[in-house]
């Protein structure tokens, strides 16, 4: 397994190009199943999860090809017909977002078999809402041998209320509803920019959706969708991670290809901690870390609140802030595995249930640590950059799932980090 070797203690300075959003590209790729025509997606990040989704499409018998652009990749996908309609366990266990093919497969091909994702490192993560919603649209769903088996000759529009706001749940139901007969109303829908980006793409394909970007989506089903060309939005979590990197190392970074409107909550919190962030043009942000960071409390929430996917990175910064920061995680029940690793580097963190109290500032010192999930790995990289001495981060395959060549981007801005390959 690859590891990162990091020599910390240097402020980062320079320009970083932010990649396209993995969490917007994945549903966009699944949406290609909704039409027999060609789909062209630009600004697709070069990360492992995208490769997993391509393998899944390949498994279904769908052709995709990739071309490298100056920034990101262009993917062409055409789902003329299917060889089979099964998303196998081997792929779903690598990436839970594989569940995103369920809605489109059912809507266009009347049947889908998708492995149940099971638990994951950050909590139980059920898919009950995806299934309940599809049942509401008239699907018959059976759980057999670890698989979801969904069938429906033609889905029928219906009203569905999400008890809990779910990002991929909203995306799955939206993709199912665009080809359903009649009108579907999705209430308490997720408002994340990635959901809105998918809606924008679906409308380009001929879907009729009202309320895009709000928590109430009204979808008028159509008989068929056509191909479309679309540019994936910038990754707001990668943006937030590099803003935090500037803050925690006391450096100055210029981030290019960003969407500032998508990182308002993260910027507000980093500014409260003392990081100076100013826009430069429409799609650039300049972040300058202060001499002394201040503690600021954070509660994760659905968009437009502070994203759970930035909680771990923020915690690394909080260890370097003066005073106590109370971090409250409201989205996932077990998302503090990185805290224990940060403590091994010298942080003072008390976790109790969904709350973590970080007392700062404590000097961090390099240590061997282990990444437990995608965002936890980013947190450890940030801590390692702020620490004195050498940190060896194990299991960085997690970070490769969602960050495009992070070590190369970091080296360009002065970090001393290198990938240690397995013998």
Q: Where on the chain is the footprint of ligand UD1 (CB under 6 A)?
A: 23, 26, 96-97, 123, 125-130, 164, 166-169, 194, 308-309, 331-332
Considering the complex, state which of residue 351 and residue 420 has its C-beta at the smaller distance from ligand UD1: 351
CA 125 to chain centre: 15
Q: How far is the CB of 238 from ligand UD1 (least distance, A)?
A: 12
Considering the complex, state which of residue 7 and residue 55 has its C-beta at the smaller distance from ligand UD1: 55
Q: How far is the CB of 304 from ligand UD1 (least distance, A)?
A: 12
Distance, CA of 45 to CA of 26 (rounded, Å)? 10
Report the run of H or E that residue 269 belongs to, with start and end: helix 264-272
Q: How far is the CB of 272 from ligand UD1 (least distance, A)?
A: 21
Report the run of H or E that residue 242 belongs to, with start and end: helix 236-249
- The answer to whether 19 and 236 are in contact (CB under 8 A) is no
Considering the complex, state which of residue 130 and residue 218 has its C-beta at the smaller distance from ligand UD1: 130
Catalytic annotation, pick one of 83, 120, 124, 363: 120
Q: How far is the CB of 418 from ligand UD1 (least distance, A)?
A: 27
Distance, CA of 244 to CA of 143 (rounded, Å)? 43
Residue 341 burial (CB count, 10 A): 24
Specify whether 120 is catalytic.
yes
Considering the complex, state which of residue 133 and residue 360 has its C-beta at the smaller distance from ligand UD1: 133
Q: How far is the CB of 232 from ligand UD1 (least distance, A)?
A: 13
Considering the complex, state which of residue 75 and residue 367 has its C-beta at the smaller distance from ligand UD1: 75
Distance, CA of 105 to CA of 30 (rounded, Å)? 9
Of residues 275, 295, 287, 201, the one with CA closest to residue 242: 287
Both tokens of residue 77?
């996908």
- The answer to whether 154 and 110 are in contact (CB under 8 A) is yes
- The answer to whether 170 and 98 are in contact (CB under 8 A) is no
Q: Which residues are catalytic?
A: 120
């Amino acid at each position: 397994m690859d590891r990162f070797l990091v020599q910390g203690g240097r402020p980062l300075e320079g320009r970083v190009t932010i990649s396209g959003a993995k969490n917007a590209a994945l549903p966009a790729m699944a949406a290609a199943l909704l039409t027999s025509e060609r789909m062209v997606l630009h600004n697709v990040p070069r990360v492992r999860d995208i490769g997993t989704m391509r393998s899944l499409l390949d498994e279904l018998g769908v052709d995709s090809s990739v071309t490298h652009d100056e920034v990101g990749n262009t993917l062409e996908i055409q789902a003329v017909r299917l060889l089979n309609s099964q998303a196998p366990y081997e792929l779903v266990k690598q990436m839970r977002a594989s569940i995103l093919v369920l809605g489109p497969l059912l809507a266009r091909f009347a049947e889908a078999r998708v492995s149940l994702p099971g638990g994951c490192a950050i909590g139980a993560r059920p898919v009950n809402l995806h299934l309940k919603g599809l049942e509401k649209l008239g699907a018959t769903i059976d759980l057999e041998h670890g698989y979801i088996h969904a069938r429906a000759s033609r889905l029928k529009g219906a009203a569905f209320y999400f008890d809990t706001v779910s990002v991929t749940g909203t995306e799955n139901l939206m993709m199912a509803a665009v080809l359903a007969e009649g009108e579907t109303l999705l209430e308490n829908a997720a408002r994340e920019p990635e959901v809105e980006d998918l809606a924008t793409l679906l409308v380009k394909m001929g879907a009729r959706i009202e309320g895009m970007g709000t928590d109430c989506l009204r979808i008028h089903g159509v008989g068929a969708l056509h191909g479309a060309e679309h540019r994936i939005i910038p990754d707001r979590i990668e943006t937030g991670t590099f803003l935090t990197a500037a803050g925690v190392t006391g450096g100055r970074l210029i981030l290019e290809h960003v969407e500032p409107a998508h990182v308002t909550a993260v910027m507000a919190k980093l500014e409260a901690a003392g990081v100076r962030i100013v826009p430069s043009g429409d799609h650039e942000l300049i972040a300058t870390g202060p001499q002394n960071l201040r503690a600021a409390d954070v509660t994760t929430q659905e968009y437009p609140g502070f994203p759970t996917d930035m909680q771990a990175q923020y915690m690394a910064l909080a260890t370097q802030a003066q005073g106590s920061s109370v971090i409250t995680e409201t989205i996932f029940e077990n998302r503090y595995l990185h805290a224990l690793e940060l403590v091994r580097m010298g942080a003072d963190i008390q976790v109790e249930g969904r709350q973590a109290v970080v007392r700062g500032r404590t000097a961090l010192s390099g240590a061997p640590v282990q990444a437990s999930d995608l965002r936890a790995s980013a947190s450890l990289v940030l801590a390692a950059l702020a620490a004195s001495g050498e940190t060896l981060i194990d299991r960085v395959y997690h970070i490769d799932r969602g960050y495009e060549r992070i070590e190369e981007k970091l080296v360009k801005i002065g970090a001393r980090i290198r990938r240690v390959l397995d013998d």
